[in-house]
Chain A
């Protein structure tokens, strides 16, 4: 973990300062991390579900078995 500060540059003056994060900024940072983790989890689950559907569709095609509508959607645009 890096230091809990921020590097701020005022583009109108070029002045660069290092400022400790406020409690609100730390809270926001933690909320961002949680939001990212939740988003990543959702994306991972969606990808796993799609992969499972594709695998099932492929197996059924090979076996000559009928596909569900969901499985067909993974093959037909």
Chain B
């Protein structure tokens, strides 16, 4: 049972945007990690994909997702041979709005494969928007020491996007 929720680090993207947000040298002193993000990318569409690389790795990820997409019925999809990503918001949405994501990574310091969950939602005053939840696995035994966030389509993260990493301890 988690008893603490400690902010490890937080980044707010400045003027001009950035290609990625990198959390490095993540302390190995917590039990779980939680990453909360508020993101808008430079892609000129409603939806984009937020690439998440654990220890800079682009391989070993698999996921199942439930998506509510643009008012359509939920869908269940296998994902991502080329890396892990979750839905985020492009620059074709209502001005000054940002998508939100949360990723929960339990037992990130362990030597077992890493299972984790995530959820995301796009904010848009229009006919298109998306919300999704995902259950994922990173088939890698290394402790997680870094996390990189970027636009999967290479369009960058816009100014005022934020990412905050929290550590959770079980004692």
Which residues from B are CB-within-8-Å of A33? Answer: 152-154
> Are A2 and B25 within 8 A (Cβ)?
no
The answer to the question of B21 belonging to the interface, with a C-beta cut-off of 8 Å to chain A, is yes
Least Cβ–Cβ distance between B56 and chain A, in angstroms: 9
Given known pairs A12-B27, A16-B11, the reply for A3 and B82 (CB within 8 Å) is: no
> Are B9 and A2 within 8 A (Cβ)?
no
> Are B17 and A3 within 8 A (Cβ)?
yes
> Are A2 and B83 within 8 A (Cβ)?
no
In terms of DSSP, what is the predominant structure of the interface of chain A?
A: mixed
Given known pairs A9-B9, A11-B25, the reply for A3 and B18 (CB within 8 Å) is: yes
Q: Considering only CB atoms, which chain B residue lies closest to A28 in the complex?
A: B58
The answer to the question of B22 belonging to the interface, with a C-beta cut-off of 8 Å to chain A, is yes
Return the contact of A32 from the options B9, B11, B51 (Cβ within 8 A).
B51
In this complex, the interface size class of chain A, counting residues with CB under 8 Å from chain B, is 20 to 34
Which residues from A are CB-within-8-Å of B25? Answer: 10-13
> Are A36 and B22 within 8 A (Cβ)?
no
Q: How many residues of B contact A (CB 8 A)?
A: 38
Least Cβ–Cβ distance between A3 and chain B, in angstroms: 5
The answer to the question of A55 belonging to the interface, with a C-beta cut-off of 8 Å to chain B, is no
Which residues from B are CB-within-8-Å of A29? Answer: 19, 150, 154
User: In the docked arrangement, what's the CA distance between A12 and B150, Å?
Assistant: 22
> Are A7 and B20 within 8 A (Cβ)?
yes
The answer to the question of B126 belonging to the interface, with a C-beta cut-off of 8 Å to chain A, is no
User: In the docked arrangement, what's the CA distance between A38 and B24, Å?
Assistant: 30
Apart from A9-B10, A29-B19, A32-B58, what 14 extra A-B contacts exist at CB < 8 Å? A3-B17, A6-B21, A8-B24, A9-B9, A9-B11, A12-B25, A25-B19, A32-B51, A32-B152, A32-B154, A33-B153, A36-B49, A36-B51, A43-B77
- Chain B contact residues, CB within 8 Å of chain A: 8-11, 13-14, 16-27, 42, 49, 51, 58, 77, 80-83, 85, 148, 150, 152-158, 165
- Chain A contact residues, CB within 8 Å of chain B: 1-14, 16, 18, 21, 25, 28-30, 32-33, 35-39, 43
